[in-house]
Amino acid sequence: MTSTQGLSLQSDDQYTEVGELYREQRIGGGSVGWGAKAALLIVDFQHLYTRGRASTGLEAVENTVPLLAAARANGVPVAFAVVGYEAEAVPDDHAWTMKCPGLLEARRGSEASSVDPLIAPIDCEIVHVKTVPSALFDPTVRDAFRSAGVDTIVVAGTSTSGCVRSTVVDGVSHGFRMIVAVDCVADRSKPSSDAALFDIDTKYGDLTTSAEVCAKFTQIGADA
């Protein structure tokens, strides 16, 4: 499992210093590793955030294409989460849309809320439409994964500092081993992304690359 050591965020002295402080206080330093069964969860790679007004770009989506193919080829469960709202069902005091009113552009069934065509879901895959940051706050995905015997979730998606981070925190809170494929996540802000990845690696999950995840998925398929 790749740690943040050697990743781009470690070139910043502040993370080196904080990392040393955390280690002295026995915060971080461990690894969740791979459990008995893995799944892939792709968060908010929908048109609004890949090609639309609030785009974080396509590079991470493109890096997710082989990851998704490896999951499908080797029997790894896959789920997607997208932001989507019913126009008449959003209360005036809905805190997240009060803070980020642009979210309301993602209407259920609209292009803005549709998964990017580069990684379009197939019929057997869950597409969870959410109205909160975390893809695991609602029981839909986590219950489906639990029913399939999943204990390890690999996360790709956007934004790293927003919905990806909150998904990882909720995942570990519900007892899953959380792993982030760092080249398959995106953010508008490098400082925010670096801070989120540092926090995830230190406290909540493991960081790795899509190549390493693909190799693991291939091993899973061979062992099945």
Instruction: List residues with catalytic annotation.
Output: 163
Q: Beta strands 126-130 and 177-186: pairing type? A: unpaired
In 3-state terms, the chain is what percent helix, strand and coil (to 5)?
A: 45, 20, 35
- Cα 95-97-99 angle, rounded to 5 deg: 70
**Main-chain dihedrals φ then ψ at residue 35, nearest 5 degrees:** -90, -145
What residues pair up with 162 in beta bridges, in sequence order? none
CA distances from 224 to 120, 126, 189, 219, 220 (A): 26, 22, 40, 9, 6
What distance in Å separates the CA atoms of residue 81 and residue 72, rounded to the nearest whole number? 17
What H or E segment, with its residue span, contains residue 9?
Answer: none
